[in-house]
Amino acid sequence: KNQVEQSPQSLIILEGKNCTLQCNYTVSPFSNLRWYKQDTGRGPVSLTIMTFSENTKSNGRYTATLDADTKQSSLHITASQLSDSASYICVVSSWVSGGYNKLIFGAGTRLAVHP
């Protein structure tokens, strides 16, 4: 069964600190892996995308890693800001025969950054 599991479920850090969010997946076939940021009551916004051959990708203070052998990914946030408070969702894409790219979402990690 295609699954994406994220940990921790929630996290509280102080402004300026770093944190790392984890994602484990069992999805086949694998197309790519994305990290999305979702503010409360809003739609998800893509942060990074990685294909099978990529093992790291940065977007400003966000750095994602991918280990395709162990099927694990992480999202590292440096020098956190209050505006980083949101849910971070790991999404694995799988190409389905018949012609569409199916997205399998994790449940997300809810991050709260406190002053």
d(CA 92, CA 103) in angstroms, rounded, equals 6
For residue 62, give the nearest of 91, 94, 37, 44 by alpha carbon: 37
Does residue 106 belong to the site contacting another protein (CB under 8 A)? yes
CB of 85 to another protein, least distance (A): 16
CB of 92 to another protein, least distance (A): 11
Q: Which is nearer to another protein, 45 or 79 (CB)?
A: 45
Q: Is residue 40 within 8 Å of residue 86, measured between CB atoms?
A: yes
d(CA 47, CA 58) in angstroms, rounded, equals 9
Does residue 44 belong to the site contacting another protein (CB under 8 A)? yes
Q: How many amino acids of this chain bind another protein (CB under 8 A)?
A: 28
For residue 28, give the nearest of 109, 106, 97 by alpha carbon: 97
Q: Which residues bind another protein (CB under 8 A)?
A: 4, 31-32, 34, 36, 41-46, 49, 89, 91, 93, 95-96, 98-108
